[in-house]
Amino acid sequence: MPLPKDSLVNCDIESLAYGGRGVAHVDGMAVFVAGGLPGDTVSVRIVRSKKRFAEGVAEAVITPSAHRVEPHCVHFGTCGGCVLQHLAYEEQLAQKNAQVAAALARIGGVQGLVMDPPAASPEVWGYRNKMEFAFEQRQDGLHLGLRQPTPEGANRPGPVLDIAQCHLCDAYDVEIMAAVREFCRASGVPAYDPAADTGYWRHLVIRHTRAGEVMAHLITARDERKDNLINDLAALFRERFPEMASFVHSIRSRRSVVAFGERIIHTLGNAFVEERLIRGDRQVRYRLSPNAFFQTNTGGAGELFATIADFCALSEAQSLLDLYCGTGAIGIYLAGEAGRVIGVELSEEAVAKARESARLNGLSHCTFIAGSLEQGIPGMDGSGDQAPPDVVVVDPPRSGLHENTAQALLALGAPRIVAVSCDPATLARDVKRLSDRYRLTRTRAVDMFPHTHHIETVALLELVV
C-alpha cells in the first residue's frame, strides 16, 4: 500500500542514495528521506508517494546517528553547495563507495565485484580550485553568491544566497567575491534576468591554482555602454588584489544559465592561469583558459589520474587513445609512460589548449583531434589491418557514452578500456553495454567532492579473448 501523502512515519535510515538522501524501508517500501543520515531514527513527513517507493523529509531526528557531526559552515542547510557536512567524512566515503558497488551490481549486472579501496580527497576542506558564483536581481536588490537548493518540485534553480564564507574554497576567493558584490551593488546596474532577457551581471568564476595563481572571470550580458564598469573593476582588483594573475571579462548572449563566456575579452594580467600536478619525477603543467574544464579538486585530480595510470599500466612501447579528452589533462599526465597519445575532443577551443599544454610539457608524441564521437571514433573504425590502441581512456560527460561510441569501442577491440565517470548509474550502463567483449576487472571510487553527493569512479575493462 502506498504511504499517504503528508503522513508522518518513524523509520531507521539504512544508507545513502546517490544524491544524498537517506534510504529507509517502511512496510517493505523504500522511502528516500531528505535530511536523513545512515544510523538515524527519524520522523519523516511523506511528500510524494508512488506504488514502489515514497519520498519524504526528516522533520525530527529521534535518535541521531553515531556518524553525525557539527557542520563547519554557518550557511549549511541553506546553501546548496554542500549536503553532507553533518556526516563524518569517513562515512561519506564509505557510503559513496557503496553507491558505486550497488549501481554496478543492479544496473551493470556485475557479479562478485571486489572493489579497490576508495581514494579519499587529500584535502577535506578548502579543496576547490574553481568556484562559480551567480548573480541575481530581486526586489531587495542585487545578490551574488551560491544558489540555495532547488525548491521541491520547481523547474528552476534556487535563489542566490549572499554567502559570507565557504569552507570548500580558499578564503581569498570569497574575499574577491564579496568585493565584486559590493562593487556591482554600488554600480546600480541590475543583474541579468534570463526570463526577461534584461540586466547585465551574470556570473563570477574564480580559479585558484596550486601554483598560487588566481583568475577572476566575470561573465555579463552584452552592453558596450557599460565597458567603463569593467575598467573600474579592473582598477579595484589592481588596488585590493595585486596578486591576482588574471582578470577576464566575457560576454554571454544566450539566456541559458551557464557560467560559460561566448566572447572573451582579456582585461588584466595573463590570459590564462597555470595548474600543476606531480607524476613521479615529472611536473605536469597545464595552461587553463577561462572556459577550460579541469578537475575542480587539484589534490583529488592527482589521486584520480594516479588511479587511471595504475589501471592503464602503460609502457613506452604502447599507445593510448584518450576519448572525450577535453584540454588533454589525462593524456598529458600519462604521456611520460606511453609511446604515443591520441586525444579526441569535440571542442576546438579545448583541443587548442591541449596542444598548448603538450608543447608546454615538451611532449612531441601527443596528437589531439577535434571531432565528434557521436558517429564513432575519428580515424579508427576497427576495420582492415589497422591495429587498435593498447589502451583506451574514456571520460565522457555525466550522460555517459554515446551509443555509437560504445559500438565503435566494441568494434575497435582495444585490449584495455579505462572508463572514468562522475555518475555511477551511467558508468554501470556503459559497463553493461560493453560486456559482450569486455569484463570489468577493477573498480575504484575516488572522492573529488567531500561534503557533496558527487563521486568519481575509475573502472578497468579487459578484452575477453
Q: Of 2-6, 69-73, 238-242, 379-383, which range is least confident?
A: 379-383
Say if residue 381's pLDDT is above 70. Answer: no
pLDDT in tens, 242-258: 999 999 999 999 999 99
pLDDT tier for residue 280 given thresholds of 50, 70 and 90: confident
Extract the C-alpha cell encoding 22. 537517506
pLDDT at 449 over 90: yes
Can you name the residues that pair with 156 across neighbouring β-strands?
none
**What residue segments make up the domains of the chain, in order of their start?**
1-66, 97-122+297-463, 130-274
Query: Contact 158/145 with Cβ under 8 angstroms?
Result: no
- What's residue 376's pLDDT? 84
* pLDDT of 320 over the 90 cut: yes
Q: Is a pLDDT exceeding 70 seen at residue 151?
A: no
Please give the pLDDT value at position 411.
93
Look up the pTM and report it. 0.93
Q: What is the pLDDT averaged over residues 97-109?
A: 96
Whether residue 80 is predicted with pLDDT greater than 80 in this model: the reply is yes
Question: Does the annotation list 165 as a binding residue?
Answer: no
pLDDT interval class at 404 (50, 70, 90)? very high
82 catalytically annotated = no
Average pLDDT over residues 426-435: 97
pLDDT at residue number 385: 52
Does 70 carry a binding-site annotation? no
At 157, the pLDDT band (50, 70, 90 cuts) reads confident
Report the distance separating Cα 296 and Cα 259, nearest Å. Answer: 14
**Reported CATH class of domain 1-66:** mainly beta
Q: Give residue 386's pLDDT.
A: 62
pLDDT at site 3: 85
Indicate the average pLDDT of the chain.
Answer: 94
Fold equal for 1-66 and 97-122+297-463: no
Share of the chain above pLDDT 90, in %: 86
Between the alpha carbon of residue 88 and those of residues 37, 94, 398, 411, the distances in Å are: 10, 10, 27, 45
Q: Any binding-site annotation on 91?
A: no
Q: Is the pLDDT of residue 62 over 80?
A: yes
The answer to the question of whether 59 is labelled as a binding residue is: no
pLDDT tier for residue 153 given thresholds of 50, 70 and 90: low
How many Cβ atoms sit within 10 Å of the Cβ of residue 194? 15
φ/ψ bin of 160: left (φ > 0), alpha (ψ from -120 to 50), beta (otherwise)? beta
Of 151 and 110, which is predicted with more confidence?
A: 110
- Architecture label for domain 97-122+297-463: 3-Layer(aba) Sandwich (3.40)
Task: Judge whether residue 156 has pLDDT over 80.
Answer: no
How far is 36 from 441, CA to CA, in rounded Å? 34
In the structure, what pLDDT confidence band is assigned to residue 27 with cuts at 50, 70 and 90? Answer: confident
3-state secondary structure the chain: CCCCCCCEEEEECCEECCCCCEEEEECCEEEEEECCCCCCEEEEEEEEECCCEEEEEEEEEEECCCCECCCCCCCECCECCCCCCCECHHHHHHHHHHHHHHHHHHCCCCCCCCCCCCECCCCCCCCECEEEEEEEEECCEEEEEEECCCCCCCCCCCCEECCCCCCCCCHHHHHHHHHHHHHHHHHCCCECECCCCECCEEEEEEEECCCCCEEEEEEECCCHHHHHHHHHHHHHHHHHCCCCCEEEEEECCCCCCCCCCCEEEEEEECCCEEEEEEECCEEEEEEECCCCCCCCEHHHHHHHHHHHHHHHCCCCCCEEEEECCCCCHHHHHHHHHCCEEEEEECCHHHHHHHHHHHHHCCCCCEEEEECCCCCCECCECCCCCCCCCCEEEECCCCCCCCHHHHHHHHHHCCCEEEEEECCHHHHHHHHHHCCCCEEEEEEEEECCCCCCCCCEEEEEEEECC
pLDDT score at 154: 60
What's the mean pLDDT in 221-225? 94
Task: HSE, CB side, 13 Å, CA atoms: give it for residue 143.
Answer: 18
Tell me the average pLDDT across 320-336. 95
Lowest mean per-residue pLDDT among 24-28, 127-131, 412-416? 24-28
Mean pLDDT of 88-115: 96
The CA distance from 332 to 343, in Å, is 9
Q: What is the CATH number of domain 130-274?
A: 2.40.50.1070
Give yes or no for a contact between 421 and 433, defined as CB atoms under 8 angstroms apart: no
Provide, rounded to the nearest whole percent, the portion of the chain with pLDDT above 70. Answer: 97
pLDDT value at residue 182: 98
Question: What is the spatial distance between Cα 382 and Cα 378, in angstroms, rounded to a whole number?
Answer: 11
List, in sequence order, every residue forming a beta bridge with 8; answer none if it has no partner.
45
Distance, CA of 212 to CA of 432 (rounded, Å): 42
pLDDT at residue 383, as a whole number: 53
